[in-house]
């Protein structure tokens, strides 16, 4: 932390700040300039620096305290310079390969789920997605099949061998969702549900943390920090688009977030172009963009009859479109040395 004193700070005020920092356990390195004094405070790793910086800023003649360390530790690249991988059975997310997670937005029926699961598996997907509990902006839209949906996901896994990812919406449901799911999805609306993050930090299942629709990357990484700090290191991130002034697309898919996460963190990152664009016509191209930019995988909504989907039909691609996408992705993957 660097403390910048006001130009008119007196010697007594400067030594008051120095004394306070030493009391908090910092070693101080002051620079007494002609115009003003700057104090570098180092070596108190157990302090909550954000709190200390606010306390320092409340002392007389302090202009500002600047934090140097990232507000997330375990999620940072400084903590772990090499990329981390998340393993789900035989599927490795964050390794050499590129992982396709595909399936319907929402589990609607046995027929719909099984048909989709068989088709995405045959086309090369290695994880099945499907929501049983759906967070909806409107209380009148379909809220999901609940436990019956989870049972269908387990049945689809049984038949296809695909591990399943599904959303857990609240703390009271974690045990139930864990009973059926292989990966827990934390949705965009819950990225800052800190009680939920703390609780999924205690379970032994991988977690995919979606970016809050209005969240900065730093806030997203701090949310991941909650889970890792709680003891669950199997965390992957998912960029799913953010709110901007644009309304033509449902969200603005922030492809550059993949690069930002790579620069800041060791966590695997996948991209969800379905929520990210809201338009099935844009999904295949965005999938390719995610592959080329260096994401670790995709989460894609596929539906046998998008026009009949109970949720997110406009952004769901058909089974034939998914098959074509997989073939085109394979060509790109081999050109850039990635394994699909």
CB nearer to Mn ion: give 105 or 150. 105
Residue 188 sits in the site that holds ligand PEP (CB under 6 A): yes
Tokens of 224: 């991941």
Residue 208 sits in the site that holds ligand PEP (CB under 6 A): no
164: left (phi over 0), alpha (psi -120 to 50) or beta: beta
Residue entry with tokens 């049945």: 155
Tokens of 198: 């703390």
Interactions with ligand PEP, residue window 49-108 (CB under 6 A):
105
Strands (E), 60-109: 62-66, 86-88, 91-93, 99-103
Torsion of CA 124, 304, 206, 236, to 10 degrees: 80
Residue 210 sits in the site that holds ligand PEP (CB under 6 A): yes
Residue 167 sits in the site that holds Mn ion (CB under 5 A): no
CB nearer to Mn ion: give 94 or 306. 306
Q: Find the shortest distance in angstroms from Cβ 54 to Mn ion.
A: 39
Mask for 230-249, x = binds ligand PEP (CB under 6 A) = ----------x---------
Mark 19-48 as b/e (b = at least 16 C-beta within 10 Å).
Answer: ebbeebebebebeeeeebbebbbeeeeebe
CB nearer to ligand PEP: give 225 or 239. 239
CB nearer to ligand PEP: give 1 or 105. 105
CB nearer to ligand PEP: give 135 or 294. 135
Interactions with Mn ion, residue window 95-134 (CB under 5 A):
105
Residue entry with tokens 């995709």: 298
Residue 131 sits in the site that holds ligand PEP (CB under 6 A): yes
Residue 166 sits in the site that holds ligand PEP (CB under 6 A): no
Q: Find the shortest distance in angstroms from Cβ 21 to Mn ion.
A: 49
- The single-letter DSSP state of residue 310 is S
Residue 312 sits in the site that holds Mn ion (CB under 5 A): yes
In the set 37, 265, 275, 280, which binds ligand PEP (CB under 6 A)? 275
Tell me the C-alpha to C-alpha distance, in Å, between residue 119 and each of 125, 249, 323. Answer: 9, 28, 8
Residue entry with tokens 């963190």: 265
Q: Which does 121 bind (CB under 5 to 8 A by kind): Mn ion, ligand PEP, none?
A: none
Residue 278 sits in the site that holds ligand PEP (CB under 6 A): no
- State the Cα–Cα distance between residues 120 and 130, nearest whole angstrom: 12
Residue 187 sits in the site that holds ligand PEP (CB under 6 A): yes
The interaxial angle of helices 283-293 and 256-264, nearest 10 deg, is: 30
CB nearer to Mn ion: give 296 or 312. 312
- State the Cα–Cα distance between residues 319 and 314, nearest whole angstrom: 14
**Contacts to Mn ion by CB under 5 A:** 105, 312
**Contacts to ligand PEP by CB under 6 A:** 105, 131, 135, 187-188, 210, 240, 275
């Amino acid at each position: 932390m660097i403390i910048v004193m006001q130009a008119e700070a007196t010697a007594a005020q400067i030594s008051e700040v120095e004394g306070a920092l030493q009391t908090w356990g910092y070693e101080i390195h002051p620079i007494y300039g002609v115009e003003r004094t700057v104090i570098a405070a180092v070596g108190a790793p157990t302090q909550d620096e954000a709190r200390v910086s606010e306390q320092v800023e409340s002392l007389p003649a302090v202009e500002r305290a600047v934090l140097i360390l990232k507000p997330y530790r375990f999620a940072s690249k400084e903590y772990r310079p090499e990329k981390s991988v998340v393993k789900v059975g035989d599927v490795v997310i964050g390794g050499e390969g590129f992982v396709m997670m595909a399936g319907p937005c929402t589990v609607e029926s046995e027929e719909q789920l099984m048909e989709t699961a068989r088709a995405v598996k045959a086309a090369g997907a290695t994880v099945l997605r499907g929501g049983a509990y759906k967070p909806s902006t409107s209380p009148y839209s379909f809220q999901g099949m609940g436990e019956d949906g989870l049972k269908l996901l387990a049945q689809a896994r049984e038949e296809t061998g695909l591990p399943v990812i599904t959303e857990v919406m609240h703390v009271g449901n974690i045990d139930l969702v864990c009973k059926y799911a292989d990966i827990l999805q934390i949705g965009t609306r819950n990225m800052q549900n800190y009680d939920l993050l703390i609780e999924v930090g205690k379970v032994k299942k991988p977690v995919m943390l979606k970016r809050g629709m209005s969240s900065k990357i730093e806030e997203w990484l701090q949310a991941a920090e909650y889970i890792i700090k709680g003891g669950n290191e199997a965390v992957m991130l998912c960029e799913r688009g953010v709110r901007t002034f644009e309304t033509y697309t449902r969200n603005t898919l922030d492809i550059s977030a993949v690069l930002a996460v790579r620069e800041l963190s060791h966590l695997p990152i996948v991209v969800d172009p379905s929520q990210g664009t809201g338009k099935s016509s844009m999904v295949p191209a965005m999938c390719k963009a995610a592959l080329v930019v260096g994401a670790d995988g995709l989460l894609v909504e596929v539906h046998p009859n998008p026009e009949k989907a109970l949720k997110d039909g406009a952004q769901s691609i058909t089974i034939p479109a998914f098959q074509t996408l997989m073939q085109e992705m394979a060509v790109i993957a081999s050109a850039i040395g990635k394994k699909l």
